[in-house]
Structure 1
Amino acid sequence: MRLRHIEVFSAIMKTGSTVGAASVLNISQPAVSKTLQHAERTLGFALFVRSKGKLVPTPEALRLQEELQPLDDQLARVHRVVANLSAGKEAPLRIAATSSLAHHLVPYALAAWGRAFPNAQCMLVSSLTREMVYWLLIGEIDIGFTMQAISQPNLVTTPVCNFDLYVIAPPDWWPKSVLDRPAVPADLAGQPFIALDTASPLGVTVMGWLNGVEPEIKASVKTYALARALVEANVGIAVVDSFTAQAGSSAGKVQMRPIMSPTENWVYALTNSSRPPPQSADVLVRSMQELGGFSSLERR
């Protein structure tokens, strides 16, 4: 007896008719009748007799139902799991993102993701890229977002969107007349400066952009959020990504000027090649790709 035979048999037992079974299984009534006939030919005995327009189970069908009940219950559980997986409800989507993305871009993408999966849950944690890579390899998270391209044989690195770089400074650092003008390395010469870790890709990019110009380094940091916090505290100026630069810019906490970056800068999605994330993660990535950058978020 095939699995499809069992599904049709159980549906008829529950509803008492091929019409009712067709409704439960979301197939046509002729398809139910054809499957029932094939099941009876395969078994070699009748499962139902028609009486007053209804299908009445034979003694053989009642005995068969007793044996099939555990399997029927298991099939029902499987259908519930499939429905939950389709709706993103089976388990929370576990996400890690570097500080700038976790605080500024990912929340907007998660808002769109939540509309697509209103009954789903997620877990979001801010982390360094090296922590994210480790968590992906041991299966602690499903997907990570970073500004660093990772070359690791067990991870898949997918470009999501690119971003610009900005010099940020405390309020009134520059006259308003120059704010729309891109900053050049000479503008930073001798200026108090919060440097990014030169081991990070963005730190290397900034050093390449400075091209030998030497600001007066007041502090070195590992995250762009810390660089912004020090700028807001009037320690100096810094070069950061567009997400960090534009966060709260309307409140006048910092001034910002774009720079001509020597390289393209990208946000990447990281996943484990041997443990693909739930399909709902694809929706999150697409939401980030559609948002494209924090400037577009500000306009929405």
Structure 2
Amino acid sequence: MELRQLEAFAAVMSVGSVTGAARLLSRSQPAITRLVQELEAEIGYALFTRNGPRVTPTEQGFLLYEEAERVLAGLRRIHERAVEIARGEAQPLLLATTSALAVGLLPQALKRVEAQTGATPVQLRTASPEQVVHAVLTGAVQLGASSLPLEHRGLQVHWIAQLACVAVLPQHDPLAAFEKVPLAALAQRRLITMSNPFRLRHRLDAVLAGAGRAPGQHGALIETNSSINAQALVRAGLGVAVLEPLTAHGAPLAGVVVRPIDTDIPFFFGVITPQSRPLTAPVRALADALLEAAAALPGFVQHDVADHATLLQSAHADDATTSPGAMPRKRP
């Protein structure tokens, strides 16, 4: 398997045609076709079904593309870093965060760091919590920020924080008149909610069931993997949402209002780095700045990283009326 074959394959996947891939790579169409066919012959299965000049990826093609794109991105990064070293340039900060933390905390944190040290090159990828953890464990990034759980072996957890979830409502919704929205009222409405059942969604389902919501009640749920998507759906009048507060703080959306809820639904999150990699001064400064940005938000509580398991046990409790103990730490 040669890199030229992977490059040709990835280009065809991205553009959707051999002709377009040839233009993208400044090669002839027969050369691209040959490279893809050689790759297919080597791996033993078809990557595309062909219909004239157009091609359609097979299921195996989609699966292989995920790995090929990751390898090619790594090679591009090696090339860029080699050029930076030749020029004597500093290494960029390589970061991976969930979208909520990227919009809710990272801009303020980077601003704090750059006010102290000057402009720093940054490469940021937003991803699911599982992908953030994977990027940190593999060393693809120097720092990750994500929701709990973060107990994977090989991770260094620097801090854990807690904020209360909020209700996101259409601007003229009757519930917007409440200073704190009753959870029981939210339980009677069509909900726009997160699709991942192993994180915040688990706790949300438990507290809503405790507030009297039956499975399948009031029409089908709208599930999404993005809080920003949820806010847009709320604005369109398709339902109400219970979300972590970071997205609403960092990316407020016209046409919706954000209100506290009369029941505490905790959202836990933290910052992680690879245990196997020495912590550089810029990475440490950013981890501290992210904590400072989180601490400026209403209702912030910091937990000791040793309490990780206890926090998860409390968050996943079936008792919808019980919220986990605060256990705040005094910050120096």
Scaled to the shorter chain, the TM-score interval is 0.5 to 0.7
Q: Which residue of 2 aligns with 1:200?
A: 198
| Separation in 1, partners of 2:129, 2:161 | 17
C-alpha deviation, 1:169, in angstroms: 1.1
1:244 correspondence with 2:247: yes
1:291–1:143 Cα change, 3 Å: same
1:287 lines up with 2:304 in the alignment: no
Corresponding position of 2:226: 223
1:53-74 Cα offsets, whole Å, 9 max, x none, are: xxxxxxxxxxxxxxxxxxxxxx
- The CA RMSD measured in Å over matched residues stands at 2.4
- Cα drift, residue 127 of structure 1: 0.8
Whichever residue aligns with residue 227 of structure 1, its letter is A
Which segment drifts farther, 252-261 or 110-119? Answer: 252-261
1:119 to 1:107, Cα distance in 2 relative to 1, 3 A:
closer
**Change in 2 beyond 3 A, CA 1:277/1:124:** farther
Using the TM superposition, give the Cα deviation of residue 263 of structure 1 relative to its aligned residue in structure 2, in angstroms.
5.5
Moved more, 196-205 or 109-118: 196-205
In structure 2, do the counterparts of structure 1 residues 245 and 161 end up closer, same or farther at CA, with 3 Å as the change threshold?
A: same
Q: 2:49 — aligned with what? A: none
Correspondence 1:104-143 to 2 at 5 A: 104-143=104-143
Q: Is the Cα–Cα contact under 8 Å of residues 105 and 250 in structure 2 kept in the other structure?
A: no
Residue correspondence of structure 1 range 32-181 to structure 2 within 5 A:
90-174=90-174, 177-178=177-178, 180=179
Alpha-carbon separation, structure 2, partners of 1:281 and 1:194: 35
Contact 2:104 2:248 survives alignment (8 Å) = no
1:235 maps onto 2:235 in alignment: no
User: Which aligned pairs between 1:258-269 and structure 2 lie closer than 5 A?
Assistant: 258-260=260-262, 262=264, 264-269=266-271
Q: Structure 1 length normalisation: TM-score?
A: 0.62
SS where residue 221 of structure 2 aligns?
Answer: strand
CA contact (8 A) 2:104 2:251 kept: no
Residues 104 and 285 (structure 1), Cα distance of their counterparts in 2 relative to 1, 3 Å cut: same
Residue-pair matches, total: 207
Give the aligned residue type for 2:277: R
Cα drift, residue 266 of structure 1: 2.5
Equivalent pair of 1:159/1:266 in contact (CA under 8 Å): no
Q: Which amino acid aligns with 2:236?
A: A
Give, as a single letter, the amino acid of the residue that structure 2 aligns with 1:92.
Answer: P
Q: Which residue of 1 aligns with 2:323?
A: none
Deviations 1:98-121 (A, max 9, x none): 011112211111111112221421
What residue ranges of structure 2 are gaps of 5+ in the alignment?
1-84, 299-332
CA gap 1:275/1:228 in 2 versus in 1, 3 angstroms: same
Structure 1 SS opposite 2:273: strand
| Structure whose CA Rg is larger | 1
Q: Percent identity?
A: 22
Residue type of the partner of 2:130? Answer: R
**What is the TM-score normalised by the length of structure 2?**
0.57
Distance 1:226 1:277 in 2: 35
181, 184, 190: which is aligned to 2:182? 184
| Shift of residue 293, structure 1, vs aligned partner | 5.1
Whole-angstrom CA distance in 1 between matches of 2:177 and 2:135 = 47
- Cα distance in 1 for partners of 2:263, 2:136 equals 30
C-alpha separation in 2, matches of 1:271 and 1:253: 38
Question: Aligned AA for 1:205?
Answer: R
Residue 258 of structure 1 and its aligned partner are, at CA, apart by 1.1
The answer to whether the 8 Å contact 2:105/2:294 transfers is no
| Structure 1 unpaired stretches of 5+ | 1-80
Tell me how far apart the structure 1 counterparts of residues 177 and 129 of structure 2 sit (CA, whole Å): 38
Q: Report deviation, 1:165.
A: 0.6
Shift in Å, 1:124: 1.2
Tell me which residue corresponds to 2:213: 213
Amino acid at match of 1:268: G
1:128–1:290 Cα change, 3 Å? same
> Comparing 124-133 with 152-161, which one deviates more in the overlay?
152-161
> What secondary structure is seen at the aligned counterpart in 1 of 2:151?
coil
> How many angstroms does 1:176 deviate by?
5.2
Q: Counterparts of 2:176 and 2:276 in 1: how far apart (Å)?
A: 52
Could you tell me how far 1:294 is from its partner in structure 2?
A: 6.7
Residue type of the partner of 1:283? A
SS in 2 for 1:283: helix
